[in-house]
Chain A
Amino acid sequence: MTTTVTPAARPATGHTPGSRPRRAVRLSRAVLGRQPIGLLFGAPYALFVAVLFAYPLGLAVWMSFRRYYFTAPGVEVARPFVGLDNYRAVLTDPAVRRSFVNIGLFLVINVPLTVVLALLLATALNAAIPFRSFFRVSYYVPYVTASVAMVGVWLSLFGSGGLVNRLLGSLAPDPSWLINAHWAMPSIALFVTWKQLGFFILLYLAALQNVHKELYEAAEMDGANRWQSFRAVTVPGVRPATTLVTILAIITGANLFTEPYLLTGGGGPNGASASPVLIMYQRGIEQNHPDVASAIGVILVLGVLVVAAVQRLVERD
């Protein structure tokens, strides 16, 4: 028996039954995604970023265009718009300009050294070497130890009568490392590289787990030695990690503060190791000129963004 089913007449509006709910679903998917619960999981971190990073950054930009100083709650003072005055004051201040040159020098030494050493050591620690766990922990210990404690060790090592100078004998620089205008910043760069290395090694170790062993076997069958295998397999295999390490090293390096504050006695000698963040601290916190400090901060953020963008462009090419 054949049954004929007559379709129901279309409503006058021309919509098929159920099209409204489908559209609502499509709309909710477009806005909330396929798994709306993901938003719930992501919300705490989004809130964290918004409250602790985005809002303060916006506030800092606002302050940098105003005459602003900290006041007690309830104290009314004018916050007049001053245009680019704070930026002009910052860019014409020799101490600030020098601090940017210093941080540039720091990054030129610190970032390549970090990338190269972290990759080499991670590769070594990824191989089956004796005492591997011991070495992995050893490289990580400086990273988790307070900078203040580490600075004490380096003051003893790199002081004029320290171990390094005793080993170098007549080759030791005079004045010594940390009070030498030429060596103070490279010394800090070396210190920070050493201190942060454990973290970056960890990133590379994780990346190395994703490089297929078959690639090394294929390279070996093609007659590649260890160095060639490293260049042809390892380096391209961990490229995303290298991007991450480079950007993180640039960002943390640009925020340099503790080391010039403690290791070289407040950016000494004579400002040779002062960093922009140290100058921000002096101007903003010690001298109650957060407007000027904000202008330095905004310039620093823009500088880091430019350097990171250039790095990405170079890598793409």
Chain B
Amino acid sequence: MSNAADTPSFVSSSRTRRRAVVAGTVCLVLGTAACGGSGSAGADATAQSHGAISIWYSNNAQEVTWGKQVVAAWNAAHPTEKVSAQEIPSGKSSEEVIGAAITAGTEPCLIYNTSPASVPTFQQQGGLVPLDTFSDGAAYIEARAGTADSQFVSPDGNYYQMPWKSNPVMIFYNKKVFKSAGISTTAPPLGSYAEFLATAKKIVSSGAAKYAIYPAPSSEFYQSWYDFYPLYAAESDGKQLVVDGKSTFDSDAGRAVAAFWSQLYAENLAGKESYNGDSFADGTAAMAIVGPWAISTYEGKVDWGVVPVPTSAGGGGDTVPTFSDAKNIGMYVSCKNTGTAWDFLKYSTSVAQDGKLLELTGQMPMRKGIETQYAAYFTAHKDYVTFAAEAAHVVEVPNVPNSIEVWQAFRDAWSSSVVFGKTDPATSLTGAATKIDQLVAQ
């Protein structure tokens, strides 16, 4: 098992090629994608050489459109520093593909879909370039990201990711279903747990939808970001899962959230089986807990409304904290031309390009005052105003060692107690907290 003492050093050695072959073979054995090339030595950000670079971006249609236009604009203005771009190769998850690519030394200079939860692992692999090694690195990040940047500082004090975009997780509701259940479609009673539960019961008992809400009940480590974590952020007034090396959820706030979801599952108001498709778009569930990225998938299928996630007391409005579901930009060590990569990173996160991102994807750039910065967009797209308001109050995943293992430990406890009711939720939270504290301390 690894521990924090194993700080990797960026040393090129004669064993590089052999290690790359070994790494590639290991990837092959374990069935990962994006392996297969020979490796290269770690990049030295301070060298800042210039030339052609490659980037990866997400594979959803909106982000592909954004990616293509930013690359085209850059290439037109920088003929000697061409950027080639492609979608992240397919795999079980982007994080798995990126991890395998780092191991094989085949990752591009920049990846515009770096999950903050995976940053500690990529950092442990020695796969990320600390962005504050660029002379204007820290200043640029802090200037563009504002207060959001503090949640992305790694335990060693460096920035290994450029905050990019958030998708504040909120409650979407199907107006047609609500109407047929006799519930207000303009001000649905969903603010407090009591109101939410009463509304959920009304939906299911009326037969308007089979389930009130249907977050994925499966055991993947990241699923707690779409049931527990947004509500915990709201209930705890913006606490992260782990603060100062200690878990925070074995508390009144954590127990309240667990009890709320337990009731939804126990009364069959939320689905417990894997769902083949999108339960909200299909009309199987009346509500979804998701960020604005999903809006494009509901077009033409659902007449939706959106409200903040509930709290036990209710009445938080659109300033109640929620999970950010952010994706950031990472610079990776195989990059030879880090100078160009840094320049392109700044270009692609400029005011103009952030505006394009908002316009083309509906996702919120993680910047100060986006409501005023992009006022014209929000005037034209009133549905998105509430997400912009929430974007200023988002909570990120904690940037801690063994981050994925921490979330898996939490998910296992959650599945066992809250989803399937095999153990007492409060006891499970205590057990998970103990385990997570040990993992973070390693």
Interface residues of A (CB under 8 A from B): 52, 55-57, 59-60, 63, 67, 69-78, 85-86, 89, 95, 152, 155-156, 159-161, 175-176, 178-179, 181, 261-271, 280-282, 284-293
Contacts and interface: CB of A to CB of B under 8 A. Distances in A.
B216 A95 contact: no
Nearest to A79: B6
25 contacts: A56-B26, A59-B26, A63-B26, A67-B6, A70-B26, A71-B23, A72-B103, A72-B127, A73-B17, A73-B103, A73-B104, A76-B8, A76-B9, A86-B1, A159-B273, A178-B273, A179-B420, A262-B274, A270-B422, A271-B416, A281-B31, A285-B30, A285-B100, A286-B221, A288-B125
A74 B126 CA distance: 9
Given A74-B10, A266-B219, A268-B218, A287 B29 contact: no
Contacts of A72: 8, 39, 42, 102-103, 105, 125-127, 333-334
Given A70-B26, A176-B273, A282-B408, A270 B415 contact: yes
B186 interface: no
Contacts of B23: 70-71, 73
Interface string B24-57: 0110111110000011111000000000000000
A269 B103 CA distance: 33
Given A74-B11, A269-B420, A287-B402, A59 B29 contact: yes
B10 A160 contact: no
A71 B126 contact: yes
Given A72-B102, A178-B273, A286-B96, A78 B25 contact: no
B124 interface: yes
A288 B2 contact: yes
A89 B22 contact: no
B126 A75 contact: yes
A67 B2 contact: yes
A73 B40 contact: yes
B276 interface: yes
Contacts, number: 179
A268 B415 contact: yes
A261 B274 CA distance: 10
A179 B9 contact: no
B216 A71 contact: no
A71 B415 contact: no
A191 B410 CA distance: 30
B429 to A, nearest CB: 15
B103 A71 contact: yes
B412 interface: yes
A293 to B, nearest CB: 7
A159 B96 CA distance: 29
Interface of B: 1-2, 6, 8-13, 16-17, 19-20, 22-23, 25-26, 28-32, 38-42, 92-93, 95-96, 99-100, 102-105, 121, 124-127, 210, 216-221, 272-276, 333-334, 402, 404-405, 408, 412, 415-416, 419-420, 422
Contacts of A70: 23, 26, 99, 102-103, 125
A88 to B, nearest CB: 11
B2 A75 contact: no
Contacts of A156: 276
B420 to A, nearest CB: 5
B421 to A, nearest CB: 10
- Give 4 closest A-B pairs by Cβ, nearest first: A73-B39, A265-B218, A75-B126, A266-B219
Among B41, B92, B276, max chain A CB count under 10 A is at B276
Contacts of A63: 26
A75 B28 contact: no
Contact of A293 (B30, B40, B121, B274): B30
A63 B23 CA distance: 12
B25 A59 contact: yes
A89 B1 contact: yes
Given A269-B420, A286-B221, A287-B402, A76 B26 contact: no
A77 B275 CA distance: 42
A179 B272 contact: yes
Nearest to A73: B39
Given A72-B105, A290-B26, A285 B415 contact: no
A155 B276 contact: yes
Given A55-B25, A73-B19, A288 B274 contact: no
Nearest to A57: B29
A272 to B, nearest CB: 9
Nearest to B93: A286
Given A74-B13, A263-B274, A287-B408, 18 more contacts: A59-B22, A70-B23, A72-B8, A73-B17, A73-B104, A74-B10, A74-B126, A159-B273, A176-B273, A178-B273, A266-B219, A270-B416, A270-B420, A286-B93, A287-B404, A288-B99, A289-B2, A291-B1
